[in-house]
Structure 1
Amino acid sequence: MTRQLAGPDEVTALLRGLSAQTSALALLDATDELLASASFVEPYGISLHRAFLAGVPTARPLVAAAIAEGALRLALGGHGDVLRTVIMLTPNDLGELDTDYLDRMPRLLGAALDMWGTERSVSESLLSTLADLLADPATSADAAFEIGLHQVRVAATAGTEDPAAQLVAARRNFAHAEAAEESSGDAALYGAGIDAVMAFRRGDQLALRAADQAIRRHLDRRADGLHRAHVPAWRRPRAEAGFAWARLVAILGRALDAATRPAWLDAWPMIDALADAYVLDRAVIPVPGSVDPDGLSRIVRPVVGSSLRGRETLIVQLRVAAEDDGGRVHRLRELVQNLDTVPEPPPDGNGARVVTLAPSVVAELGLPAAERLAHRLDDDSLQLVEGLAYNALVQRGNLRDPVIAGILERVTARLQPCADYIGSVRQSFDAVVADAVAFMATRQDLQRSAAVDYLFPALTPPREARLQDDFADWLRRGPLAGHVDVEVPNVATGRADIKVGFGATRFFIEVKRELRNNSPAAMERSYLAQAADYSGTSAALGMLLVLDLTPHPAGAPHLSECVWVAVHRPPGAAVDRYLLVGRIIGNRPRPSAYSRSASHRTGP
């Protein structure tokens, strides 16, 4: 194609033709050929980028996505305006865009983060759009994967304050993405890689071996997939970056074996293994983009150092090696010098200790509760608890789709200031909250709730008792069966709609309906005080469910907008009551009733 261009007129005609293309496949093929020609890209790349940006809003969805990909590729190669490209990738209202276009956005945003993820002003916009896509069930799995990949990149970047916490957050996102079949391969690979790093931190050789085996299985599948499928050249570096997990885990496995042996009969292989782990090189960083291995090194070094400290025989062998062998001098001297330095106690006691040894515990419980737990445990016990918390985090993530997982994480964070939200009370209330959010998600989806007539318009608005009976029946059919009672008398001088009891701990659920004003503030003013009053003699935790029967002429709100935590303190009281508020959308026409002649925009 490029050989046939005789001058500016032909180039202008080509640019117009590309921006008006109606076939996505033809456009992708033409873009590949043009961008592979340096003789075309150098003089005309910026003009092509402008033509692509102009063509995105007017094209059909799949063609618009192909045009956006071409514009991004040019900007990544330095032949386009970065700011205008980022603006194209971060539209203000995703709800106006066609789903075929939205489906391809997470991958484009991830590729942009590979290049510009370390530039704060750019990455914040890209991550904000990914967060919006995370709330959409159609794009949530791919968005969770791209956010997790960025978190790994941040962990592997020099200057990151707490790289282990970033890895824990990334592992949760990969677990959510892994639950979706279309994302399971890459997400499972990166999840197993993080499992290996965290197992190394805990000194857990069995978990490290299991992660190593999982990584090898996933890499075999990836290699087979890359061999069988066509992966565009510009995406191959990203696809191949994951193969570094095998090299990294091999290094960690040898280092952990060396660090836990009581003696070294053949010192040099053991010393090499420790030195390789202590100073990681760029070839073992399993994430695309411009990163420095220092972030992951700061996760690994304390493990190597603490495992050797006080073991004089091994340290003597390290000192001799550091003096004798010139090829290893730099790495080994740094390791020996750190071993010779007496570690300073953490400035804030258990705070720094628990953040270092148990990042998953901090992520699950919050720092104040994690500090209290760490105060009662020695280092070995704390790392054992860390392993349990990490495994629970991963298993729970694998069982939930990203939208519900995001809601539960937000709810958990909001409940943490409650003094009663600890120990067995927290476990019990988390179970009630998880079941309630699953119920709300099901009732939000009319296809799964077609037989629930109180959700549909009716001449006489249904009473709240319909929702009460429905939710109580839901609880009785699930894991909370045997813990549920309805219309419980003599609670706060009244009758509670639903009680979920766990021995002496009881949680009360108030059920209401709303016919006029469905704003969160209005519903809290009307119903929160009564719902909070029931929790006056048990844990200061409860729930308010509201059947929203107001008109919804333009569509129902998103599930994430229908669940929140409200805090109420009665006048003269000193204890806050924390209530999960859930809005169940009733009076809903079927989705086809919202159709109008105007179509959605295809691209920004």
Structure 2
Amino acid sequence: MNNSDEGPAAEQVLVVPGFGDAAHLPALADLGGESILASNPTSETDPDLVYTVALAVSHGWGDLHDRVTAKSWLRAAIPTLEIESLIAFNNVVLASTHAVPDLAEDLAEVWEALSDDRGLLGNVAVEAWTRLALAGWSDSLPVRAVLGKRAKQAAVDTVDADIFLVRSLGAAMDVWPSTETRRALERLSVVESVECDVAFELAMDHVRMAMSVEDVADAAGIFAAANAMFERSNLEGDRPDAVAFAAVTAAVGDFLGGRAVSVEVVEQVRRAAVEWHLGYLGQAPEWRQARAETASSWADVLTDMGRLTDLDEPWLHASALLSSVGELLANHQATALVANPRTFATTFGVSIPLALASATDGPIVGLPVSFAPRIESAFTRNEESLRLVDRWLGAMSARTEGRDRPDVIDAVEGVRNCIRNRPPPGKVDASRHIPLPRRVREALEPLLDGGQLDSLGDILAEFVHDADEHVVMAAAAGLRVVPLREEQLLNELTHQLDAVLPGEYKIWSIHVTQLLSGLIRAVSIAIDREQGGKRNLPWHRPPGKGNPPEADLADFLAMSIHISAGLRAHVEIPNIGGGRADVVVPIGTEQFVIEVKRVTATRTDEALTTEYGLQASEYTKTGAPFSFLAVLDLKRRTSRLDIGDSFWISEWKDASGRMRALTGLRVLGKVSSPSAAT
């Protein structure tokens, strides 16, 4: 399950008919106190009074003294509520962190009884019961059985079909995907009044299915089917969300088939997103209402796809694209609930505070969460593993350049083939003494037969650098999502470079952006890494061992760039600008050089630029006017640099009068631990 970042349910505005938002609901004390609950309401009781008291009781449940009497009163009151009042009550009680834990069993019984109604009342009750089960307060099986039964009956017009039933089935498909639930939705597709809503839910299920295949062509075919469903969901022409998703699924399918994404498609999605957003202005979102902001994110993904079309390795980007699609799908369908902290985490895999999940004493308090549907990304998961290991193996091959080692090339290709074809069932265990770093070995073990892993270790052991273990594992943990701060920094640096060399940056922007993303990831890894024990980096040496060489940082950067950005990087390459370059990163027909230096005394960014910038710019004489300087700063410090303060951009004119832009970065080698600041 993917968790949404939309924010917890408690932060959503809850609008209650007759009272505005929930903050203006009356307190029970204003209605006469708990004595008003002494007599259970009947069908003859004033419905407005019953509605108001029911809201006051559920909203102020935490302040009640006699909850036994209140439960009895509510069990009698709920069946007497009119439809609009029942909908409002359901929304209020299901948002109450104190009421739901105490009332869950009673609510489930009342809603189950009301679900026997064959009209709108039954569907409203089933939806509320579904939400209760989704949040972990009641068993899901009875709810799913009733949903399937009602869908079957609605298809033959013996019960009503409406949006309440459709979105309950859609939510069930998100959390409890099954053939039966999908068949229930398909049955409803023959009911004209809900045909478009059902088509949209089925289309979203197709997008989820595309995440589970293991072949790009299969994924493209499923996106085509989803596109047809989205087109069908807009038969009445008033669903901008369907317009946006139809364009997106068509573009994703085309991209996976090797076709470019046009500017017109991106603009179509953006227009639909604006129309979608305007349609919801002034309205409070339902518990399962699509978010227009997601359509804007889809448009951003399409823009990235248009840029990726020009890159050399489209296969590697299919995985990243489908990961993004899965995350956007999950966020689009994120649902606000008050969850049971004792069952929700284990049932749905949502991360919640340990104290809440493990508490056993005292009353249970519901946990407001926003959770997203299950996305079974078998294809993206397998492909990301291939992507990670493929890059690492490529680095091993690159290190054999200039040596006659065909056995290494053969071993690399053999491992790649094994990963693509998956290990055979009952694979042989590897020996315990494979000469590879432990964490590299652990990353490979699920993908290779033991004998293959043994052979790989024997052949590649001499080519493994000290930094490989750290970089491989960091990449394994961070492949799917670029942290927001790193994305912000990338935008800041590229904007600065564009300001320094606007014409040149437009020409080389894709190349520079790729390289910068790898450098930012490398520095981020270095900032997070401890400087002692088994987790240290190559330049973190014990006192008295002498200062580390610049080559340690060069090797680390080369491997980090290769793993995180997919760019092959080489160290100590001669005949570059008339000298020997520390790190060379070829991107297509272009190449970029990173000059690596080491300092042991305090140097400002400006001083480093003045001292080493000219040398770094000498390597740009035959290529792009963008140079890079990496500095291993060994001056003892008490605090780490922020990731943003670790980079700087400088500009100057060289001897020929041509403008150059230098990107500098600083990696600290001797920093006290955070505990030293206490």
Instruction: Please give the range of the TM-score, normalised by the shorter of the 2 chains.
Output: 0.3 to 0.5
Q: Whose RCO is larger (CA < 8 A, sep 6+)?
A: 1
Give the alignment's TM-score, normalised by structure 2. 0.40
Give the alignment's TM-score, normalised by structure 1. 0.44
